[in-house]
Every structure is written in C-alpha cells, then in structure tokens.
Amino acid sequence: MQFSSPLLRGTLIKRYKRFFADVLLDDGRTVTAHCPNTGAMTGCAEPGFIAYLSESDNPKRKLKFTWELAQTPEGHFIGINTHNANKLVAEALNNKVLDEFNVIDDWKAEVTPPGADSRFDFALKAGEETRYMEVKSVTLARGSKGYFPDAVTTRGAKHCLELARLAEEGVHTSLLFCVQHTGVKSVQPAIDIDPKYAEALFIAAKAGVQILAAGCAINEQKITLNQSLPLIK
C-alpha cells in the first residue's frame, strides 16, 4: 500500500481525546492531526516519537492532517491508521502473499454470512466454497512480542464466538492478526488486558477457526503485508 503523497515528518507532542495528536513538524509548524486509532495505543503514542502525517486537500475536512506512522527511538515503524489493516490484507489477497491465500479466487469486503449476527471483513471464494475472515490490527509490543487487544474489546470477543459457531457448522472461517509494528516477531493474546477476549479466541481455535498472524514491512513510502508470523498460545 503506497501512500498517495509524501508523508510529513515531525515529532509527537501528545495524543489526546483519542482522535487528536499534536505534532511539531520538521519545518517548524505545530499542527493538530486526526488520530485514526481509537485504541489505547500503548507504546505507540509516546511524546517524542517521530510521527509521519499525510495531508489532505479536501476543504470539507476539519483536520487536514492524518497521523499515519510512528517511529520508536529504536527505529521501529508502527502503522497508526487501523483502517489500513483491511487495505493491506486486500492487497495481500490479490498478490497471494501468504500461502493460505493461494486457493482464494476472489473476495468481497464487509459481508454478513447468512443467519449470522456479525459482519466480517472478508468473504473469500475458494472454488465453490465461501469462507469468512476477520482482521485485527496489532500494534501493542512488549519486546519483540505482539499482543492483542490493547484494550478490552467486547466486539472482538463476539466476533471470535461467531466465527467459532460458523466453524462448528462446517463453514471455513479465519482470524488474521495484521501486525503493523516492525519490531514484532510473534503474536499472542493479551490475557492480562482482556481475559474474556483471550478465552473467546481459545474457543474459536478449538472450534476450528484458522488463526493467522502476518507482519508488515513499513517505511515512509509504503506499508506491505509480507510475511507470516508465529502465534504463541
């Protein structure tokens, strides 16, 4: 996923009220950017981190800047924009990046299976079979280990249980953790943050839901989902 225009580099002053981030740009301007991430953003929004912003020319926008990337003092890039996760997976599906995608012939986004209560990120066509996949963006890192979620997610637990129900009915379902943090080398549930989600994830895996994790290459020009990562149960 190529950024549509060069990102503006600066230093994060603070993130506040979930949706706002003040950034001192390298050209000396202090701007307020939209923060497209409603999570806790633990370890992603520390004052002093390098921040990369996109700029919109849409006159109807209240904030012309969007916070896209953070960079830690260790040099690791973090994808701040959670909306990009599905775009990255869609691109990876088209390019057959993961071995699991080789059998996928076509896909549709945002689909509710017949008789289900939840809408999932993708319906995947594999021959005559329709599969369903949910995507979660991972940015919480503790050392080289990635964790999900970074805050309690009742909706996420519901998705796990709904995927489990479909799997028990014989429907192929999967859950993909899209890791937008270049320092993360493996993924596991954050049991200490949301034990109910961890339990729901375990139920899903036991029911036959395919649990996957994938990492991304990230720089100032683009983000690309490019590799499978191990899951730690």
Confidence at residue 118, expressed as pLDDT on a 0 to 100 scale: 87
CB 192 within 8 A of CB 142: no
Cα–Cα distances (Å) from 76 to 44, 104, 182, 209, in that order, read: 10, 32, 5, 31
184-195 pLDDT, tens digit each: 999 999 999 999
CB 178 within 8 A of CB 214: yes
Q: How many whole angstroms separate alpha carbon 187 and alpha carbon 214?
A: 9
164 phi/psi in degrees, rounded to 5: -60, -45
**Domains of the chain and any CATH numbers:** 8-76 (2.40.50.580), 84-228 (3.40.1350.60)
What's the pTM value of the predicted model, to 2 decimals? Answer: 0.95
**21-25: average pLDDT:** 98
58-73 pLDDT, tens digit each: 999 999 999 999 999 9
CB 129 within 8 A of CB 166: no
